[in-house]
Amino acid sequence: MITLNGQSTVTIDLGSSYTDAGATASDAHSGLDGNVVVNNPVNPNQSGTYTITYNISDKAGNAATQVTRIVVVNEVTQYRYRTSSQSCSTCYSSCPYTCTTSPNVSYYCSAVELSLCNGNPCCWMSGYPQAGQVYGSATPSYSCPSGYSLSGSTCQKTCYQDCNPYSCNCTTSWSGWSTWSTTPVTQTSTREVQTRQCTSWPCPTT
């Protein structure tokens, strides 16, 4: 009778080493004729499913029931990646604010003449200015440039200025692909990953 050492099914990765655990045999009658004959076709450098067989006969020539072990050599996943980068312009939001400017000022007098008193506009009684003929201060009149409105004695309007910068007009560029590797790589927003299965060791890198 043949007894396996270890598991009847073994799984290994491509490119790893494999040492078979072997088998033992016993015969309670005529005794064994030699050692267990092992046929081990396992190639750890080539993926696939392999069957190892174990056989022996006793001294009377009777063959023991064959025992087998399944060895699965798994394919290896390869990875390659490329990364992206962005080139952007800076754009701005348009925010309102109040523009102000000085109004145009003119002066007028009601029923009297407009003149100057010590360099300032003033109102006189009719006739040329003479001492004692001052009637009172001239009344100012304000006017604003086009687009402005008068607020008190100031002209103002709503203007806009750049504010809140943000990225715009972005272009994306990609690096070249890396070589293929069995080192796992995770995909991210700036990294694209491709995978393929390698069935023969060593795995190609191109």
- Could you tell me which residue, 62 or 112, shows the higher pLDDT? 62
For the chain, which residues make up each domain, given as ranges?
2-74, 78-89+169-198, 104-143
Predicted pLDDT at 73: 98
- Could you tell me which residue, 32 or 81, shows the higher pLDDT? 81
pLDDT at residue 116 tops 90: no
**Using one digit for the tens of pLDDT, what is the confidence trace for 127-151?**
555 555 556 677 788 899 999 999 9
Amino acid at 199: T
Please provide the average confidence, as pLDDT, over all residues in the chain.
Answer: 89
Query: What CATH superfamily is the domain 2-74?
Result: Immunoglobulins (2.60.40.10)
Predicted pLDDT at 88: 95
**Using one digit for the tens of pLDDT, what is the confidence trace for 156-201?**
999 999 999 999 999 999 999 999 999 999 999 999 999 999 999 9
d(CA 179, CA 199): 17
**β partners of residue 24:** 3
